[in-house]
Amino acid sequence: METILNISNLNKTYKSAGRELTVLDNINFSIGAGSTNAIVGPSGSGKTTLLGLCAGLDSATSGIVELSGISFTNLSEDKRAQVRNQYVGFIFQNFQLLPTLTALENVMVPLELRGEKNIKARSLDLLDKVGLADRGHHYPAQLSGGEQQRVSLARAFSNSPKILFADEPTGNLDAETSEKVVKLIFDLNREAGTTLVLVTHDLELAAKTQRIIKIKGGKLVADDKTGNE
């Protein structure tokens, strides 16, 4: 299995009031293409920071983040943005849909940004897959939390990403909706052959992935295979 994400000697420190705060301390791991992974840990363990660095939303203090063979180390924010646009899909805890765009338009954005063709048809197709074909013209505020997360899912898959980062995707959803959304994530993921990196403190959710990486106090403390296929 090829490596899609390679993290080595990753450190992240923040300077706050003259004091250095180490959030991530020498993290090393790599993720194979098409695998499903969970990063777990208690609040404040640094897992969200790690996600941000993996996705190229932030730059590391030291160490290497390599996404699909591209190192983020010397890339400018704008270049990282383009890498994100082409390789990365996102799912957020609070959905992060553009409030001023309809569900359909939200799904279309990454494709439009790439200047692709048949955008509308492909987006409608994706909305159909998440079961929202008829809600395409609704604005996020008019959708329920579950529906919003499904739209965000459709958006995440719209640019056929190589890797999908999900930050507590069920954090704002009730149990029943969570279940549906989780199922959808895994189904779509399998169908597209996308690599999934899931950040959560929900161990039940983490258990559905193939691998669980545990972070505590900024350090990688465990890296276990779950045996899932």
User: Is residue 48 a contact point for other proteins (CB under 8 A)?
Assistant: yes
- DSSP-assigned letters across all residues of 193-226: T-EEEEEES-HHHHTTSSEEEEEETTEEEEEEE-
Residues 6+ apart with CB under 8 A from 76: none
Q: How far apart are CA 210 and CA 229, in angstroms?
A: 6
User: Is residue 191 a contact point for other proteins (CB under 8 A)?
Assistant: no
Cβ proximity to other proteins, 50 vs 184, nearer residue: 50
The position carrying tokens 């955008």 is 119
Of positions 25, 61, 113, 129, contacts other proteins by CB under 8 A: 113
User: Is residue 144 a contact point for other proteins (CB under 8 A)?
Assistant: no
Helix (H) or strand (E) holding 23: strand 19-32
User: Is residue 39 a contact point for other proteins (CB under 8 A)?
Assistant: no
Residue of 76, 191, 178 whose CA lies nearest to 125: 191
User: Is residue 64 a contact point for other proteins (CB under 8 A)?
Assistant: no
- Nearest distance from residue 4's CB to other proteins, in Å? 7
Stretch that binds other proteins, among 19-27, 72-80, 202-210, 214-222 (CB under 8 A): 72-80
Sign of the CA dihedral 55, 121, 34, 184?
Answer: positive
- Nearest distance from residue 5's CB to other proteins, in Å? 11
Binding site for other proteins (CB under 8 A): 2-4, 33-34, 48, 51-52, 55, 57-58, 68-70, 77-79, 81-88, 90, 92, 94, 96-101, 105, 109-110, 112-115, 139, 155, 162, 167, 193
